[in-house]
Structure 1
């Protein structure tokens, strides 16, 4: 085992790692519930608007809530975990997700619906930030395996609502409520086991030594690796949400039917399952990641170039390229654990990178849509997206270099 991987596998003194099978089950239970609350809305958005009397402006705000909530609340997740512990904070988040999703499925007010949606997304944000630290704490030599489990299950959780929303919504006149409620029940089903996991893990908290914590938290930006990983996570998140929001419309504007365009979007999303399986293992074992990082960015640029020049000629090819480029997401998640040694630094790094990423995920689709409206075509937006793939590649190559954020922080005392 390399020095990098062996040192990463070292557990912090005082923690009590869970058996790997129990840690894997815990990761699956939380990961499958971190995306459906968001992705289940799009397929039934028209029915939600009709059922609640929601206007187009409110609907637009609803679609932007995931990114903004993940960014704002995610920045607070590490702070909460210092008091409650990683596992207890994740469990609390799951309880909040369940409450928000279940109650919003029965309300009749659009304002209350959005408030409860924010509540549910706040719970998801806790998991987004802290699951990498949970994996670092309990993964040991199986950290790469748990990262694969996490990335794959996230992709499954994002894809399932796209597949079952229509059948559930067609169940009866109030089927859209059932289509949303089922994911609240799923979160509730995960909440109880996570209480048991939290008790078993004996509060493996993200604590810092007296007087050192605030200093290290403020100095995370002094790490070149942390800043590069933040940029990498942010740009790839922007691409993902732009693709979810606008790629189907780009295909439809090129002449594809609605069903065909939706299938292209589902293809891009479903490839994330394969990425979640493959990339964490590569991050853990490959001697150099530059080739893979550059290859994923090239696939993204090629996919956008195809949409620019011939979107309806080989639509499957462009969706395939964009889906492969989406492997950058599990790569970024794996790098958060691979480039930090101490679980507390993992949590700080995750809490630094992910809020920025989700903020870009919220702003990016708005900016691309505004450019499209201002120019009357997809040319300028796609050219900008192609150029941003180069930024993603450069940041990823720096972030993937075999260095620990922990060591960079220690070399820069306050």
Structure 2
């Protein structure tokens, strides 16, 4: 029988320190399991006798999992509570990440990778909801912390992969396995949190619904495309850019650091873009500029890859501000909380599923042509599309009004 609010055990208030530890430990662990694969991708696929198509598949797994498994977040949270769903999923993540490097076949490696992405897929949806429910007056501060450590975790996963692997032929196994060990920290912290929050069902949705399909809203479509195109670039960068940079004559360790620099700029974007969206005039031009910078970054890698790779990494990193911008635009382009929830439920799952086509396409291009340049031209083209979608998403239009018109 479903527990009703009247019979639900009273949850104890979380202390500030425990809330910060919870957000810190889970946020920093949502990306390394995915971003640590890219810098050692050649070693991984080589160990299983695979090639570029396999690289594309592994690179596409995170957005595929975030899109498909993220749909399980709300049903699981209703059964287990927000905190219970997060704890349970990260236990599965620990098992997947610990066993993945020892997989005897590529198929098993992929299956264990999917298990390792379950927690991040649910966390993308549930952690912001958990913060909103339990943060109270600390919500803004906790959301800022979450945005920062999310980017930090992705950057650390990429930057440390090659150094952790070392020179040994099977060093990539240790580089990937360590994140399964680190996952023990959020599991323990969130288990403690669970003893205080109890079975914390998400709040019941408001009664009534604003009629109309979100496909009738140009703003909703633009935001979905913007989110998809930026995520496509991000996960192709994590998985394939290290190999492209290595082919251009850059050492594997430095290539991993350069990709980490791109991800690290997300720290800045997460801090500044919510304020920019709320206060800056000319927002459509600002948002569209991220697509322009993305095109410039890839063009630089094409025409002058070894002149200043750090410069091109920084340009691509600022172009990546499109991600925190898309997230911040979800509430900024809606009025009703119900429409906000519907918009988020469309933009993130559909956006991630569309983003998965990018790494698959990039892997196929690399396999067919053998040229990293083909991949960079493809990514530059997606940057041009991002420019158009970003401009439309940045226009001051409310999805609520577009649905009711």
Q: Normalising by the residue count of structure 1, what TM-score does the alignment of the two structures yield?
A: 0.79
The CA deviation at 1:229 is 1.6
The CA deviation at 1:67 is 2.4
**Matching of residues 8-47 of structure 1 within 5 Å:** 22-45=18-41
2:191 corresponds in structure 1 to: 195
Which of the numbers 110, 115, 119 marks the counterpart of 2:115?
A: 119
Structure 1 unpaired stretches of 5+: 1-14
Once residues 209 and 17 of structure 1 are traced to their aligned partners in structure 2, the CA distance between those partners, rounded to angstroms, is 24
Once residues 358 and 20 of structure 1 are traced to their aligned partners in structure 2, the CA distance between those partners, rounded to angstroms, is 33
Question: Is the contact made by 2:226 and 2:326 (CA closer than 8 Å) also made in structure 1?
Answer: yes
Is 1:229 matched up with 2:229? no
Once residues 392 and 14 of structure 2 are traced to their aligned partners in structure 1, the CA distance between those partners, rounded to angstroms, is 33
Q: RMSD in angstroms over aligned alpha carbons?
A: 3.7
Once residues 44 and 293 of structure 1 are traced to their aligned partners in structure 2, the CA distance between those partners, rounded to angstroms, is 33
Which of the numbers 205, 208, 224 marks the counterpart of 1:208?
A: 205
The CA deviation at 1:58 is 5.4
For residues 330 and 145 of structure 1, do their structure 2 counterparts lie closer, same or farther at Cα, with a shift above 3 Å needed?
Answer: farther
Deviations 1:266-313 (A, max 9, x none): 322222232233323433454653343133222112212222333333
1:333 corresponds in structure 2 to: 327
**Matching of residues 344-383 of structure 1 within 5 Å:** 346-371=340-365, 381-383=375-377
For residues 24 and 54 of structure 1, do their structure 2 counterparts lie closer, same or farther at Cα, with a shift above 3 Å needed?
Answer: farther
Question: Is the contact made by 2:216 and 2:403 (CA closer than 8 Å) also made in structure 1?
Answer: no
Q: Secondary structure at the match of 2:155?
A: helix
Which of the numbers 126, 132, 147 marks the counterpart of 1:130?
A: 126
1:12 corresponds in structure 2 to: none
Question: Is the contact made by 1:155 and 1:273 (CA closer than 8 Å) also made in structure 2?
Answer: yes
Deviations 1:14-46 (A, max 9, x none): x99966665443222211111111122334445
Deviations 1:48-105 (A, max 9, x none): 4576x55446565434322222221123323333444433333332222122223335
2:73 corresponds in structure 1 to: 77
Q: Secondary structure at the match of 2:30?
A: coil
Structure 2 unpaired stretches of 5+: 1-10
Question: Is the contact made by 2:56 and 2:363 (CA closer than 8 Å) also made in structure 1?
Answer: no
Deviations 1:109-167 (A, max 9, x none): 54433322211212221111222333444456655433332222112111223333344
Is 1:399 matched up with 2:399? no
Which of the numbers 267, 288, 309 marks the counterpart of 1:273?
A: 267
For residues 252 and 282 of structure 1, do their structure 2 counterparts lie closer, same or farther at Cα, with a shift above 3 Å needed?
Answer: same
1:300 corresponds in structure 2 to: 294
1:411 corresponds in structure 2 to: 404
The CA deviation at 1:184 is 1.7
Question: Is the contact made by 1:98 and 1:120 (CA closer than 8 Å) also made in structure 2?
Answer: yes
Question: Is the contact made by 2:33 and 2:117 (CA closer than 8 Å) also made in structure 1?
Answer: yes
Once residues 140 and 292 of structure 1 are traced to their aligned partners in structure 2, the CA distance between those partners, rounded to angstroms, is 32
Question: Is the contact made by 1:132 and 1:336 (CA closer than 8 Å) also made in structure 2?
Answer: no
For residues 23 and 391 of structure 1, do their structure 2 counterparts lie closer, same or farther at Cα, with a shift above 3 Å needed?
Answer: farther
Which of the numbers 293, 315, 318 marks the counterpart of 1:321?
A: 315
Once residues 110 and 269 of structure 2 are traced to their aligned partners in structure 1, the CA distance between those partners, rounded to angstroms, is 32
Once residues 147 and 158 of structure 1 are traced to their aligned partners in structure 2, the CA distance between those partners, rounded to angstroms, is 17
Q: How many residues align?
A: 394
Question: Is the contact made by 2:56 and 2:362 (CA closer than 8 Å) also made in structure 1?
Answer: no
Deviations 1:337-374 (A, max 9, x none): 44456666555433322222322332112223434555
Once residues 120 and 174 of structure 1 are traced to their aligned partners in structure 2, the CA distance between those partners, rounded to angstroms, is 20
1:158 corresponds in structure 2 to: 154
Q: Secondary structure at the match of 1:283?
A: helix
Q: Secondary structure at the match of 1:182?
A: helix
Once residues 169 and 257 of structure 1 are traced to their aligned partners in structure 2, the CA distance between those partners, rounded to angstroms, is 14
Is 262-271 or 321-330 further displaced after alignment? 262-271
**Matching of residues 43-192 of structure 1 within 5 Å:** 43-45=39-41, 48=44, 53=48, 55-56=50-51, 61-138=57-134, 143-170=139-166, 175-192=171-188
Question: Is the contact made by 2:154 and 2:260 (CA closer than 8 Å) also made in structure 1?
Answer: no
